[in-house]
Amino acid sequence: MTLLGHLSLWLAFLVGLWGAVTGFAGGLQGRTDLQRSARHAVFAMFGALALASICLETAIFRHDFNVEYVAAYTSRNLPTFYLWSALYAGQKGSLLFWATVLSLFAALAQLLTSGRHRAYLPFVAAVTCVVATFFVTVMLFAANPFERLAFTPVDGRGMNPQLQNPGMVFHPPMLYLGYISITIPFAFAIAALLSKKLEVDWLVAVRKWTLVSWLFLAIGLLLGMWWAYVELGWGGYWAWDPVENAALLPWLTMTAFLHSVMIQEKRGMLKKWNLALIIASFLLSIFGTFITRSGVIASVHSFTQSQVGYFFLFFLIFAAVGSFTLYATRLPLLEADAKLESMVSREASFLFNNLLLIGVAFAVLWGTLLPILTEWIVGVKYTVAAPWFNDVIVPIGLALLLLTGIGPLVAWRRASIPNLRRQFAVPATAGLFVLLIVLVAGMRDLYAILAIAFGGFVTGTVVQEFGRGAGARHRQYGEPLALAALRLIGRNRRRYGGYIVHIGIVLLFIAFSGMAFKTETQATLRPGESATLRSPYGHLYTFTHLGISQYDALNRRVTAALVDVSRDGKAVGRLKTEKRQHVDALGRNTFEPSTEVGIKSGLREDLYVVLGGLVNGTEQAVYRFTINPLVWWVWFGGYVLVAGGLIVLWPGGGSPAVRRTQPGYAVKLEAER
Amino acid sequence: MIVDRRGFLVVVAGTLGAVVQDSLAGSGPAGKVADPASAGPALNPTTAADIDAGLQAIEKQLKCHCGCGLDIYTCRTTDFSCPVNAGLHGRVVALADEGKTAQQIIDAFVAEYGPQVLMAPPKRGFNLVGYLVPSVVLLVAAGFLIAMLRRWTCAATSR
């Protein structure tokens, strides 16, 4: 099977090269035979790469430990669930997964793109073939997943225990899907530049792909946060690690694009900017891959340092120089159709929104690269961790949150003072009311206060928008308000789905602010002994160590500690935290013992218990007890954000002409005059 | 009281269990576990220095060297068996016991391990550039954007 997989890689390589050449030539010369051949090459490449992936999965499931990759990341007793995820648990397999999914997306782009965008497809085929062929090249010449060992081990090394978590089964593919699907909008952008067809058409073709990519990245980031929280045991979910930052960067630039694209669609402005954002998003996805796979910046997420990084650096430079050179030659064709009419307009607010999003992206990139820069300039590789990012990013993030509430309140083209007064009255009152409440409640952390108050303002904006739209339907059709609100979303999914995303962002910001109030303690307890910890809300939690039990489970020896928890003297439940010693099929230890955190999640706070270890092999246990406020809202905010994104993405909702006749839509336009 | 055979066996098993496992809730010393090694290296009981808020604040500013990327406090309360963080924590405690202030302890670490031991570059000298560049770039870009918007809106008005 590995021979077949290896041959499939070579086939994909050759077919990819052919697709790239015929795609560019067919598009530039207008030859339909070459265009058709490029399209077929995309499908053939997907077939070859899918076969290669099946071959590797087969080797994994057959425990073919003569294959270096299988021996390095699996073992005979690895649960089946994780045998699937072993495909992308290591550098080589993840490259194959990446190339396969990219070729799948490339094929889907060819199949699903509507007839009126056909002119772009040869170039799209060519660009996707170039990118996929690059990944196949890396595998063939630097990281071959089908490489064989000179001997066959009895058992494999097994999977890192921290990867044996459901979050880690879904987090990497979601993140990869986000990274990978950026290639499709990028391919359409290059196609538009090459074909000089730079009207709104290419935007329509890429908007949904960009949204798909944005959504997958968002899900990937949220799952990564969840995994870090439940598995790593340090008590948080975001550490500003370089690899986390690298995934955030294209998400930020795509968020900027999804806002500014509306200005191009409505007013024919920002053509240059939108193209630049798509190109930058793609380059940042390659940059993120370079960071993850090169080891150039220390990160707990990095794959082993290897020569793969040089390939990515070369490709990053090649793609940046190539795409921006092409972009520069087409600038004269990208003049705006209309001019901005007022500084106080929706267009201007979107521009400032873009400025802040790109500002955050720049600050994150700057902080990520700062250790390298300081090493070059002053000879010291400074550590740039959470304290730096909190100092620099949080103020910009808060300004962005505020603008999230301002943007929808300002009319398109030109807003009058009476209009602004009417629009801002309710949201500003909501924000001030929330501010007053948190101040009276005794909150004194400035960033947290601002996050919650701005959150109140943004929520006021969204509620007002829904209220007006639903009210209009209620008056016209006599629909109950709840039904009217639902139909409002259905009729204008993009706009109201976007507002739901804004609510998700508000929830995330408020939840993030909760971490400013976390409390924790450490204690060594004999069975029956207790430790106490006061929550930020003033409740006294008592943690009583009940005892230690040891047992075998699947591929590990478990040392479980049970803790009884009470709040202000009333029982709230029991928490179990574990030490796990993973073993192979022969009972040999495979990794150092890992920790499983005990978490009791609630709307107000999470109780987070970590078993540090045992004193002299007795039941006397060392614990860390942490109370993390509002963490549940991070996950709930994530659900809301993803739900909003899905609503925006969901097809249908009527044509723009039909939507304009709907109450709610009309009311908004009237209010804007 | 009449006890049936099953009840008798339960009582006997419970008694034997109590003898084998001597750590009943809140009473007596903690019993040995069957396989201590699978729970990781043996730990020492928590001391007052481990939970001292002042020392924690210092340790949160200093980076652990074990490759975790975390500060000393977070590392030692996450990976309790890491010998690197235990050594660094011990050094902080020793310096505090010598009567050194927080800043003196941090300075001692910088002198010993270099400035990269700090979790963020100190806010002075050339390092300030690292802190200010994002804000300055953002302000310059905002100024540029406002100027552009003015020009566009003036052009639109004059037309």
Give yes or no for B144 touching A (CB within 8 A): no
What integer is the mean pLDDT of B139-143? 94
* Confidence bin at A375 (pLDDT 50/70/90): confident
- Range B74-79, long-range pairs (CB < 8 A, 24+ positions): B74/A234, B74/A235, B75/A234, B77/A234, B77/A235, B77/A520, B77/A522, B77/A610, B77/A612, B77/A624, B78/A232, B78/A233, B78/A234, B78/A235, B78/A595, B78/A610, B78/A624, B79/A233
Residues 83-112, chain B, touching A (beta carbon < 8 A):
none
Predicted TM-score (pTM) of the model is 0.89
In tens, the pLDDT along A229-266 reads 998 888 899 989 888 899 999 999 999 999 998 888 88
Mutate to test the interface with B, among A349, A354, A555, A618 (most CBs of B within 10 A): A618
* Confidence bin at A668 (pLDDT 50/70/90): very low
In tens, the pLDDT along B21-62 reads 443 444 446 688 889 999 999 998 999 999 999 999 999 999
% of chain B surpassing 90 pLDDT: 47
Same domain, B83 and B11: yes
* Interface touch A618/B30, C-beta < 8 Å: yes
Question: ipTM, 2 decimals?
Answer: 0.81
- Compute the distance between CA of residue B139 and CA of residue A418 in angstroms, rounded to an integer: 30
Tokens of A573: 């439940």
In tens, the pLDDT along A435-471 reads 999 999 988 899 999 999 999 999 999 999 999 999 9
B15 lies in some domain: yes
Identity of the residue in A339, A387, A617 whose CB atom sits nearest the CB atom of B155: A339
Q: What is the pLDDT of residue B157?
A: 66
Identify the residue with better confidence: A671 or B88. B88
Tokens of A98: 């990446």
**Cβ atoms of A626 and A519 closer than 8 Å:** yes
Same domain, B80 and B147: no
* Interface touch B138/A363, C-beta < 8 Å: yes
pLDDT of residue A43 exceeding 90: yes
What share of residues in chain A are helix, strand, coil (percent, to 5)? 65, 10, 20
Same domain, B137 and B70: no
Residue of A nearest to B61 (CA): A387
Q: What is the pLDDT of residue B10?
A: 59
In tens, the pLDDT along A126-139 reads 999 999 999 999 99
B42 lies in some domain: no
Question: How far B2 CA sits from the closest chain A CA (Å)?
Answer: 32
Identity of the residue in B30, B115, B142 whose CB atom sits nearest the CB atom of A526: B30
* Confidence bin at B127 (pLDDT 50/70/90): confident
Q: What is the pLDDT of residue A667?
A: 39
* Interface touch B26/A529, C-beta < 8 Å: yes
Domains: count for chain B: 2
pLDDT of residue A587 exceeding 50: yes
Q: Which of the residue ranges A307-321, A326-340, A389-403, A655-669 would you say has the lowest mean pLDDT?
A: A655-669
- Compute the distance between CA of residue A307 and CA of residue A294 in angstroms, rounded to an integer: 7
Same domain, B107 and B136: no
Q: What is the pLDDT of residue A306?
A: 66
Q: What is the pLDDT of residue A8?
A: 96
Q: Which of the residue ranges A103-117, A428-442, A658-672 would you say has the lowest mean pLDDT?
A: A658-672
Residue of A nearest to B27 (CA): A528
Distance, CA of A591 to chain centre: 29
pLDDT of residue A227 exceeding 70: yes
* Interface touch A528/B70, C-beta < 8 Å: no
Same domain, B132 and B81: no
DSSP string, A99-157: HHHHHHHHHHHHHHS-GGGGGGHHHHHHHHHHHHHHHHHHHHHT--TTPBPSS--SS--
B158 lies in some domain: no
Who contacts A324 (Cβ-Cβ below 8 Å, separation ≥6)?
A279
Q: CB burial class (10 A; 0-12, 13-18, 19+) of residue A570? A: exposed
| Chain A CB contacts of B72 below 8 Å | none
Same domain, B30 and B92: yes
The CA distances from residue A344 to A349, A351, A594, A668, in Å, are 7, 11, 56, 17
Give yes or no for B125 touching A (CB within 8 A): no
B88 lies in some domain: yes
CATH code (residue B68): 1.10.8
B39 lies in some domain: no
Q: CB burial class (10 A; 0-12, 13-18, 19+) of residue A649? A: middle
For the four alpha carbons of A387, A388, A390 and A391, in that order, the dihedral sign comes to: positive
In tens, the pLDDT along B83-121 reads 899 999 999 999 999 999 999 999 999 999 999 999 999
Q: What is the pLDDT of residue A333?
A: 85
In tens, the pLDDT along A88-116 reads 888 899 999 999 999 999 999 999 887 77
Give yes or no for B142 touching A (CB within 8 A): yes
Q: What is the pLDDT of residue A296?
A: 62
Size of the A and B interface in Cβ pairs below 8 Å: 217
B70 lies in some domain: yes
Domain that holds residue B81: 5-34+49-117
Mean of all residue pLDDT scores within chain A: 90
* Confidence bin at A304 (pLDDT 50/70/90): low
Q: What is the pLDDT of residue B26?
A: 44
Q: What is the pLDDT of residue A72?
A: 93
Same domain, B65 and B137: no
- Compute the distance between CA of residue A76 and CA of residue A640 in angstroms, rounded to an integer: 40
Question: How far A95 CA sits from the closest chain B CA (Å)?
Answer: 25
* Confidence bin at A194 (pLDDT 50/70/90): very high
Identity of the residue in A241, A524, A559 whose CB atom sits nearest the CB atom of B33: A559
Q: What is the pLDDT of residue A666?
A: 41
Same domain, B88 and B113: yes
Identity of the residue in B70, B81, B127 whose CB atom sits nearest the CB atom of A234: B70
B64 lies in some domain: yes
B143 lies in some domain: yes
Say which residue the tokens 């990759």 belong to.
A69
Question: How far B6 CA sits from the closest chain A CA (Å)?
Answer: 25
pLDDT of residue A297 exceeding 70: no
What integer is the mean pLDDT of A218-229? 94
Mutate to test the interface with B, among A244, A269, A340, A530 (most CBs of B within 10 A): A340
* Interface touch B24/A374, C-beta < 8 Å: no
| Chain B CB contacts of A359 below 8 Å | 134, 137-138, 141
| Chain B CB contacts of A383 below 8 Å | 63, 116-121
Multiple choice CATH, A517-632, 1.20.140, 2.115.10, 2.60.98, 3.30.1480: 2.60.98
Give yes or no for B155 touching A (CB within 8 A): yes
The CA distances from residue A538 to A239, A466, A575, in Å, are 27, 37, 21
pLDDT of residue A415 exceeding 90: no
* Interface touch A385/B120, C-beta < 8 Å: yes
Say which residue the tokens 């630097």 belong to.
A142
Q: What is the pLDDT of residue A653?
A: 59
Same domain, B72 and B149: no
Q: What is the pLDDT of residue B20?
A: 41
Q: Which of the residue ranges A176-190, A373-387, A497-511 would you say has the lowest mean pLDDT?
A: A373-387
